[in-house]
């Protein structure tokens, strides 16, 4: 399925800046939590969802395959939330942020917009 069909436009201007900030915040938190978990400095009972969230966070940071990455974030953090490990507020926040990114899309400042955005064709004079 082409990503362009999921979204009529890739938001730019202030809405695009808001989506960029949301992606950066979510991706940074996921990378931080994933690195802490996988580094072995703390006890991490759920390696699989933390690893999935870490990879999805990296995709969100650059805006690549944002709808799929957002859904993976929501599912992985829902798994963490249901297992009752870690901070429930963090997991709930990441579930909501992941789901909203999956629904709204990546915005104009993303790799998705460069790869799947509409192209402007300029007519040349004959």
Domain boundaries, the chain: 28-114
Average pLDDT over residues 14-21: 87
Q: 94: pLDDT confidence band, cut at 50, 70 and 90? A: very high
pLDDT at 11 over 60: yes
Average pLDDT over residues 10-19: 81
To 10 degrees, what angle do helices 47-62 and 13-39 make?
150
Q: 29: pLDDT confidence band, cut at 50, 70 and 90? A: very high
pLDDT at 2 over 90: no
Q: 100: pLDDT confidence band, cut at 50, 70 and 90? A: very high
C-alpha angle 73-78-96 in degrees, rounded to nearest 5: 60
pLDDT of residue 9: 65
Higher pLDDT, 23 or 2: 23
């Amino acid at each position: 399925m082409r990503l362009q069909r999921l979204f009529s436009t890739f938001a730019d201007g202030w809405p695009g800046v808001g989506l960029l900030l949301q992606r950066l915040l979510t991706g940074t938190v996921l990378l931080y939590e994933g690195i802490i978990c996988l580094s072995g400095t703390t006890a991490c009972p759920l390696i699989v969802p933390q690893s999935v969230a870490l990879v999805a966070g990296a995709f969100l940071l650059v805006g690549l395959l944002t709808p799929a990455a957002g859904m993976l974030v929501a599912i992985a953090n829902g798994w963490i939330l249901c297992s009752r490990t870690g901070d429930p507020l963090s997991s709930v926040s990441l579930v909501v942020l992941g789901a909203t990114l999956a629904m709204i899309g990546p915005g104009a400042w993303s790799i998705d917009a460069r790869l799947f955005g509409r192209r402007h064709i300029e007519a040349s004079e004959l």
